[in-house]
Amino acid sequence: MSRFSALRALYSFYDEFAGGFSVACRKGCHVCCTTNVSATSLETAYLLNKGNLDKALLERVEKARLQDHYVPSTTINTTAAMCLAGRAIPEETSPITFDPCPFLDDEGSCSVYEYRPFSCRAMCSSTLCTEGGQADMPPFLVTISLAVYQILEHMDSQGWYGNLLDIIPMCDVDRAEAREMADAQQGVIKTNRDVPCFIVPPDDVMRFKSFLRRLSRVEAGSTTMGEFLPEDYQILS
């Protein structure tokens, strides 16, 4: 079974689901398109494999990587495990910058839009964003987006997580070398883990379970998305 097929199926299902909400985002609106993009190694490998990135674009990406950029403190599922255990979640100490994403073209559009990571897909707002401001997302869409982040990490539980800029070089080498790179960058590159629980507000539990049931039946290559979801899971409300 192809994880790329499952990834495409998950992206498509989420995009259709999110399309049911009223958002202000439109083509050319790119205030949120910065270097603060996190991704799994699976998503990054898919982007590099399918995105047809040319040498000039990769050089812009590498130039951006050498600048200060956001580094997530933990993976999403690690955070969920901390919540489940009643432990304090570490604060984000990495700087949030607003440097434009190197994948933006001269017109302010995403040059890899079809293959963009979930962190980009999940960024939407009911009102127009301003630089330095926050997106205004419908609460249930936030709940679903968080769960999809967790599922993506679960699907790539043998891989890594971090800022997209830092993950890209790891997807251009074999697995042994990628592991060496991850070990050498502890604190920057995080190791993925399985879903320990989903965090869902009490009033949304039934709708959330319905979403997962529908997702489990989505075709993903020769199988269904149910093959990529956790068999047993807890819901933390």
Let me know the angle formed at the C-alpha of 148 by 142 and 150, rounded to the nearest 5 degrees: 105
Q: Report, as an integer, the average pLDDT of 164-187.
A: 93
Question: pLDDT over 90 for what percent of the chain?
Answer: 72
pTM for the structure as a whole: 0.93
Evaluate whether 69 touches 38 at the Cβ level (below 8 Å). Answer: no
Residue 120 is which amino acid?
A: C
Q: Dihedral sign for Cα 39, 43, 45, 48, please.
A: negative
Buried b (16+ CB within 10 A) or exposed e, 102-127: bbbeeeeebbbeebbbbbbbbbbbee
**Which residue in 130, 127, 76, 120 sits closest to 98, CA to CA?**
130
Q: Which residue has the higher pLDDT, 132 or 232?
A: 232
One-letter identity of residue 126: S
Is the pLDDT at 129 greater than 80, yes or no? no
pLDDT digits (tens, 9 = 90+) for 38-51: 999 999 999 999 98
Residue 116 has pLDDT above 90, yes or no: yes
Residue type, 89: I
Residue 159: CB atoms within 10 A of its CB come to 22
Tell me the two tokens of residue 34.
């910065």
Q: What mean pLDDT value characterizes the chain?
A: 91
Q: What does each C-alpha distance from 111 to 41, 186, 224 come to in angstroms?
A: 20, 31, 30
pLDDT of residue 118: 97
Residue of 5, 2, 6, 7 whose CA lies nearest to 117: 7
